[in-house]
Amino acid sequence: MAPFQYLRHSPAKSFPLLLALSALALASCTAAPSPAPPSSAPSSGASPTPSASTTPAPPSASPSPDPGSRPLGWGPEQRDEDAAAAAVAAMTPEQKAGQVLLPFFKGNQVEAQAALIQRLHLAGSIIMGDNVPRDPQGKVDVAAMTALNQRLLQAVAADGRRWPGIIAVDQEGGMVARIGAPLTEWPAPMSYGAAGNEALTREAGKGLAGELVPLGFNLDFAPDTDVTIGAQDPTIGARSMSADPAAAATQGVAFSQGMLAAGVMPTVKHFPGHGSVTTDSHLSLPVQPAGVDALQARDWKPFQAAAAAGLPIAMTGHIAVPALEPGVPASLSAPNYAALRSLGFKGVAVTDALNMGAVDKQYPAGTAAVKALTAGADLLLMPADVEQAHAAILQALASGSLPAGRLDEAARRVATLMTWHARTAPAAGAPGAGTPAGSGAALSTRVSASAVTVLAGPCKGALVPGSVRVAGGGPGDRERFEAAAARAGLTVGSGPLVSLIGYGGKPAGGDIAVALDAPWPLQDSTAPVKLALYGRSDAAFDALAAVLAGKAPAPGKLPAAVGPYPAGTGCA
């Protein structure tokens, strides 16, 4: 999903697999169930330019999780499945249709949303940026946010369900963070790929999720496990952890396991992979030209690892894959859901937001919801009009175009997920449930300090004398830099020029170029010293200032190629 809003040919040897996937898709529909800046394609291994005092090395990645070891993964017991099946069997069609819909609402219309949840029997709600209550200083009003979520949960409970409602949010870190200060500000997810520390990534996932629990959130549409291709990727960018499939898989699973340990359900996204297409699905439909073999070798690796680790939720993206079903968004394509299930995924498949341009332009007035559900989706996120979507599902069910067994299967999966979660996760407000707002600040600092990467320039000693100048960046970036410089003992006003390159920024000159988000703009920078920071939080700027002052090393390694600098470039 996009940073700001949700409107956030196959090789011959693959043909037998496609036939199998199609057969599985057909069976699943009829049987009762059992923002980021642009970037460059990774370079073919060119060495850094002569000015770089860096050591290329492959990004670190551990083996994929052992499928038999699932201490923190999807683990419903038979009692959870039995309870969910019994509850769904007793539901009316109207209740089942509501159970698979997760809507949004506008602004502060909380009471209207609560009434709609109860009337249409909806699964819960997602909270977007414009729903977040704020205090006079513009910070999140934590007490009001908690009360808002509790009101929505009350609406679900009033409908008579035996499991809690879904209260979801988009909180990845970096550019995608609906809930800001006083909660901890986290750097871009690419930081985890640059740091290459699985334990640190798991700890960060737990820290981020832990602060959501006291507010009443139980599901986060994170982490993004897309494998980026670099400067040609206009949508994912620094939201991706790595261009290396194994590293993206390892780091994505680790972050997810940390979230589960804190009591928040993670969501790996966006299957079949959004980091390798060159169109933004928020605006129009991207086409993935790769065949199944290529997808299995690259984009699907993190999702296969997620399935092996037993992670509970996977999001499907609005991407057309001709090798699976030409012209149809994967989120609405039966062969795509069959492909996801063929990887061993047993959890809930949720669509990306159905009000995005890639879907809403072609499938208006509830048709997208019906098509996605029929294809194999279990949870339908943010239909443009949830009442139309609910009515369309009932109409398709009555006409027979939506098999009753498919709706039952989807509703059972969602009910099983929430039954299991309610049994295993501590309730908000219970002893040991969650962590206070802002408690992850020190950990966020460790992440940024572990990720900052030198592409070109010295690896030891101070990079600047006692004073520097600063230019570029976005709103507030220079102010944050100046404050961090002061904390590191640097003055601002004279000396080498540090050029900050923010989200969507252009290549910069000066003496030191610093990419604050994805590192791709550094490939065209003329600065002799180039640093990738992957974040613009206070903690990230502190990490930068410490490196500039020579008070800390820059241990990060490029998780993706940047022009002549191959993946793995960084100080030894």
List, in sequence order, every residue forming a beta bridge with 169; answer none if it has no partner. Answer: 127, 220
The pLDDT score that the predictor gives to residue 105 is: 97
Cα distances (Å, whole numbers) of residue 230 to 223, 416, 561? 18, 38, 7
Q: To the nearest 5 percent, what fractions of the chain are helix, strand and coil?
A: 40, 15, 45
Written as tens digits, the pLDDT of the chain (572 aa) is: 433 333 342 333 333 343 343 333 333 332 333 333 333 232 223 223 323 333 333 333 333 333 333 333 567 889 999 999 999 999 999 999 999 999 999 999 999 999 999 999 999 999 999 999 999 999 999 999 999 999 999 999 999 999 999 999 999 999 999 999 999 999 999 999 999 999 999 999 999 999 999 999 999 999 999 999 988 887 899 999 999 999 999 999 999 999 999 999 999 999 999 888 877 667 778 888 999 999 999 999 999 999 999 999 999 999 999 999 999 999 999 999 999 999 999 999 999 999 998 898 889 889 999 999 999 999 999 999 999 999 999 999 999 999 999 999 999 999 999 999 999 887 655 666 799 999 999 999 999 999 999 999 999 999 999 999 999 998 899 999 999 999 999 999 999 999 999 877 777 779 999 999 999 999 989 999 999 999 999 999 999 999 999 999 999 999 999 999 999 999 97
The pLDDT score that the predictor gives to residue 252 is: 98
Q: Is 434 helix (H, G, I), strand (E, B) or coil?
A: coil
User: Quick one: DSSP state of residue 64?
Assistant: P
The pLDDT score that the predictor gives to residue 25 is: 36
Contacts of 303 (CB under 8 A, 6+ apart): 225, 268, 271, 272, 314, 340, 343, 345
CATH topology of domain 12-34+77-424: TIM Barrel (3.20.20)
The pLDDT score that the predictor gives to residue 230 is: 87
Cα separation, 332 vs 337, whole angstroms: 9
| CA quadruple 335, 336, 342, 343: dihedral, nearest 10 | 170
Cα separation, 555 vs 459, whole angstroms: 9
Cα distances (Å, whole numbers) of residue 406 to 249, 285, 326, 387? 30, 26, 23, 20
Query: What would the 3-class secondary structure string for 68-118 be?
Result: CCCCCCCCCCHHHHHHHHHHHHCCCHHHHHHHCEECCCCCCCHHHHHHHHH
Q: Is 39 helix (H, G, I), strand (E, B) or coil?
A: strand
List, in sequence order, every residue forming a beta bridge with 350; answer none if it has no partner. Answer: 315, 379
Q: So which residues are the catalytic ones?
A: 282, 352
**Overall pTM > 0.85:** yes
Cα distances (Å, whole numbers) of residue 104 to 107, 209, 243, 393, 438? 10, 21, 32, 18, 26
Structure tokens of 316? 């499907």
Ranges of each domain in the chain: 12-34+77-424
Q: Angle at which helices 110-120 and 142-158 pack, to 10 degrees?
A: 20
CB 312 within 8 A of CB 301: no
Cα separation, 180 vs 184, whole angstroms: 7
The pLDDT score that the predictor gives to residue 431 is: 64
Cα separation, 462 vs 481, whole angstroms: 17
The pLDDT score that the predictor gives to residue 488 is: 97
